[in-house]
Amino acid sequence: MKSLIMYILFILLIAILLPTVIIQNYKVENINSLENERSVDDTIKSKYIKIYNIETKTVETIDFEDYIKGVLATEMSGNFHIEALKAQAVASRTYAFHRLEVYKDGHPQHPETALCTGIHCQAYSSIKKLEEIHGEHWMEQYWDKFIEAVDSTKGQIMVYNEKVIDAMFHSTSGGMTEDSEMVFASAKPYLRAVVSPYEKESPKFTGTMCISVNDFINTITNEYDGINLTKKNIASKIKIVERSKSNRVKTINIDGKAITGRELRILLGLNSTNFDFSIDGKSNTITFDTIGYGHGVGMSQWGANGMASKGYKYDEILKYFYTGVKINSMY
Ligand SMILES: [Zn+2]
């Protein structure tokens, strides 16, 4: 009888002590892994990143993978195919890593950090902010999908010649992406123009912008000296002189002044540099018809979604839009 009581007491003791030991070990393990990650503190491999919040004008410290979730939920639609969301998760993670490398001492526009929460870098919203914008129902519907896309690609980034790439992306290419040097300063071997055939569902596939001839003349003459534009002569003074192979306007000539398509796009707020224009002398308006939305370099988000709906996996989509890249894991 006595040995039975001893036996029961022994079992009870084990039942109480064992979970405590397990929990303590678990905590130690997690703290160790966190400290290991922190000890490789060259910003790039840190578990946390500092980000400049353009609304509150303060610096926030966020878990890196949580930051990618907030970017994905802001940059992409929850309706998009999971493989397109995974492709964007890897692109956004790569883009952030690259910026952390390039702007180690802060970006000139926000010297406190390498990345901000605005589209200037890549748009990010916190969970609280997403709830405010979209409501609880939206969070219930989509948040798990964003988490899945980020968690299932955790730590994955794109490299070219073992270097982290500048993973640029945009909304809609309009049928073909663009060589990097047509839009930005340098020619990157992995940012080559490719055909993007599956993005006609994009609401921004085509666009129209109509402005009065007066406003157009004012905008142009305020920006550039020595241009003589009037309602009467305007039709003969504007000419598109050069297009890229993707049909984007490289150069437009206005009264003898050569202006890049990109300059005009920014000046007028056009959807893209793939445009045509027409002047209506009766209504005194000038209409720009655009194809695509964004700068056109790197991955087209709508193109990625189109490929995903055709059965392509996220890595196939990335390797299609970013020429010659490999996908590595940073953790
Ligand atoms: Zn920024």
How far does residue 117's CA lie from ligand 1's centre (Å)?
7
How far does residue 99's CA lie from ligand 1's centre (Å)?
10
How far does residue 242's CA lie from ligand 1's centre (Å)?
32
How far does residue 114's CA lie from ligand 1's centre (Å)?
7
How far does residue 116's CA lie from ligand 1's centre (Å)?
4
Supply the pLDDT for residue 331: 78
The amino acid sitting at 292 is G
How far does residue 113's CA lie from ligand 1's centre (Å)?
8
How far does residue 220's CA lie from ligand 1's centre (Å)?
28
How far does residue 25's CA lie from ligand 1's centre (Å)?
41
How far does residue 107's CA lie from ligand 1's centre (Å)?
7
How far does residue 187's CA lie from ligand 1's centre (Å)?
22
Summarize pLDDT for 23-42 with one digit per residue, the tens: 333 333 333 333 333 333 34
How far does residue 280's CA lie from ligand 1's centre (Å)?
39
Residue 278's CB is within 10 A of a number of other CB atoms, namely 11
Closest CA to 80 of 89, 67, 92, 68: 89
pTM for the predicted model, two decimal places = 0.84
User: In angstroms, rounded to a whole number, what is the distance separating the alpha carbons of residues 149 and 27?
Assistant: 27
Q: Is there a contact between 240 and 249 (Cβ–Cβ < 8 Å)? A: yes
Summarize pLDDT for 158-206 with one digit per residue, the tens: 999 999 999 999 999 999 999 999 998 899 999 999 999 999 999 999 9
Name 115's bridge partners. 51
DSSP state of 73: H
Q: How far is CA 292 from the centre of its chain?
A: 16
Helix, strand, coil content of the chain in percent (nearest 5): 40, 20, 35
User: In angstroms, rounded to a whole number, what is the distance separating the alpha carbons of residues 176 and 291?
Assistant: 10
Supply the pLDDT for residue 86: 98
Closest CA to 70 of 11, 142, 18: 142
How confident is the prediction along the chain (331 residues), in pLDDT tens digits per residue? 556 556 655 555 555 544 444 333 333 333 333 333 333 334 445 689 999 999 999 999 999 999 999 999 999 999 999 999 999 999 999 999 999 999 999 999 999 999 999 999 999 999 999 999 999 999 999 999 999 999 999 999 999 999 999 999 999 999 999 999 999 889 999 999 999 999 999 999 999 999 999 999 999 999 999 999 999 999 999 999 999 999 999 999 999 999 999 999 999 999 999 999 999 999 999 999 999 999 999 999 999 999 999 999 999 999 999 999 999 998 7
Q: Is there a contact between 297 and 311 (Cβ–Cβ < 8 Å)? A: no
How far does residue 111's CA lie from ligand 1's centre (Å)?
10
